[in-house]
């Protein structure tokens, strides 16, 4: 069972109400300005100060998530282990990008000595993209405490953090993935069944050209009927960190995504979709968000899929 997400949503709505009331005050002064400030709905993002404070905490494991083990070897955050993104997808599934099985995830995390009771801090080298994908996988298999170091390697070096070339070795653990959480993932059939559901919105996190069918990466180009295109990069600052809660709420709210709807994110292989899932579900507290990891790699190649372009 998922934790009750209605509390963050309630806080979200209260905050939005507070902002609205503040904008109507007549003084327009400092109090009104402070009222417009809002925080992320959870504390799953950590900063450089947090990382430095917990550098020697044995209950915290730092994992670099990516596809370039050589870059990791040339320099990584001190004490970090390397988690290859490919280990979080199922190589036996015909759809590229589909999430790995529980056994595959258990083997991947056991290999780098992760324990289920540890706090896992994920980071990457590109706008939190692969870190967010790994976060989604770990939450799908219900690892209790997962965080993202906001900004990853670029932020660490910009803040003056030293990189390490020490390859930390651990004895393998016996990590066992938890039961899958079906409420944060969806399938092709679920998508088809909800295309005409007014309570469901689809967020296409790909580029505008992919959405319009000008950049075709499957048998057919286009998008799921009725889907709204908000490219995943719109949620990212130039330094690779996530935009503020105010900016994110305005971005997705302005596009029509509201907490009272179920939202399904998708892209080509579920990676960019996981990034937007993280923003909507974990940072803004939307109560019902699912990532379609089959995404366009599956949908666009299925002749039975209805398509708009």
Q: What is the pTM of this model?
A: 0.88
pLDDT in tens, 256-283: 999 999 999 999 999 999 999 999 999 9
CATH assignment of the domain containing 83 = 3.40.250.10
Catalytic choice (218, 267, 283, 284): 267
pLDDT higher than threshold 80 for residue 138: yes
Rg of the chain on CA atoms, in Å: 20
Residue 14 covered by a domain? no
Q: Which domain holds residue 118?
A: 45-158
Tell me: do 131 and 214 sit in the same domain. no
Q: Residue 26 falls within a domain, yes or no? A: no
By three-state DSSP, how is residue 122 classified?
strand
d(CA 153, CA 79): 13
Same domain? For 191 and 103 the reply is no
pLDDT exceeding 70 applies to what percent of the chain? 88
**Residue 267 annotated as catalytic:** yes
pLDDT, tens digit (0-9, with 9 covering 90-100), for 7-26: 333 233 323 333 332 333 33
Task: Convert the pLDDT of each residue in 38-82 to its tens digit.
Answer: 899 999 999 999 999 999 999 999 999 999 999 999 999 999 999
Residue 151 sits in the same domain as residue 191: no
Same domain? For 76 and 153 the reply is yes
Could you tell me the pLDDT band of residue 36, with boundaries at 50, 70 and 90?
low
DSSP code string of 255-291: HT--TTSEEEEE-SSSHHHHHHHIIIIIIS--S-EEE
The count of structural domains within the chain is 2
pLDDT of residue 262: 98
**Residue 194 within any structural domain of the chain:** yes
Residue 174 forms part of a structural domain = no
Tell me: pLDDT of 89 over 50.
Answer: yes
- What is the secondary structure of 182-234 as a DSSP string? GGGB--HHHHHHHTT-TTEEEEE-S-HHHHHTSS--SSS-SB-TT-EE--GGG
Residue 110 lies in a domain: yes
| DSSP-derived pairing of the beta strands 262-266 and 81-84 | unpaired
Q: Are residues 148 and 188 in the same domain?
A: no
């Amino acid at each position: 069972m998922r934790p009750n997400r209605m509390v963050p949503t309630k806080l979200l709505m209260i905050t939005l109400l507070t902002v609205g009331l503040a904008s109507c005050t007549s003084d327009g002064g400092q109090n009104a300005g402070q009222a417009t400030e809002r925080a992320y709905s959870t504390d799953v993002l950590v900063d450089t100060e947090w990382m430095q404070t917990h550098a020697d905490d044995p209950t915290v494991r730092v994992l670099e998530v990516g596809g370039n083990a050589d870059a990791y070897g040339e320099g990584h955050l001190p004490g970090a282990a390397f988690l290859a993104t490919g280990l979080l997808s199922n190589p036996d599934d015909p759809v590229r990008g589909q999430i790995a099985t529980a056994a595959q995830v258990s083997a991947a995390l056991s290999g780098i000595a992760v324990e289920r009771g540890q706090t896992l801090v994920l980071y990457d080298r590109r706008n939190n993209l692969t870190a967010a994908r790994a976060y989604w996988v770990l939450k799908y298999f219900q690892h209790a405490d997962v965080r993202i170091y906001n900004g990853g390697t670029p932020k660490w070096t910009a803040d003056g953090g030293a990189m390490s070339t020490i390859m930390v070795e651990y004895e393998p653990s016996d990590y066992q993935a938890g039961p899958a959480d079906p409420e944060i993932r969806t399938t092709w059939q679920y998508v088809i069944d909800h295309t005409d559901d007014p309570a469901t919105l689809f967020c296409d996190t790909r580029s505008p050209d992919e959405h319009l069918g000008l950049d075709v990466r499957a048998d057919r180009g286009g998008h799921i009927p009725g889907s709204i295109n908000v490219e995943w990069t719109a949620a990212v600052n130039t330094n690779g960190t996530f935009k503020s809660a105010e900016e994110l709420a305005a971005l997705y709210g302005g596009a029509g995504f509201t907490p009272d709807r179920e939202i399904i994110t998708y892209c080509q292989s579920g990676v960019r979709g996981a990034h937007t899932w993280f923003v909507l579900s974990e940072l803004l507290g939307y109560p019902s968000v699912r990532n379609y990891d089959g995404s366009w790699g599956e949908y666009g190649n299925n002749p039975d899929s209805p398509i708009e372009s």
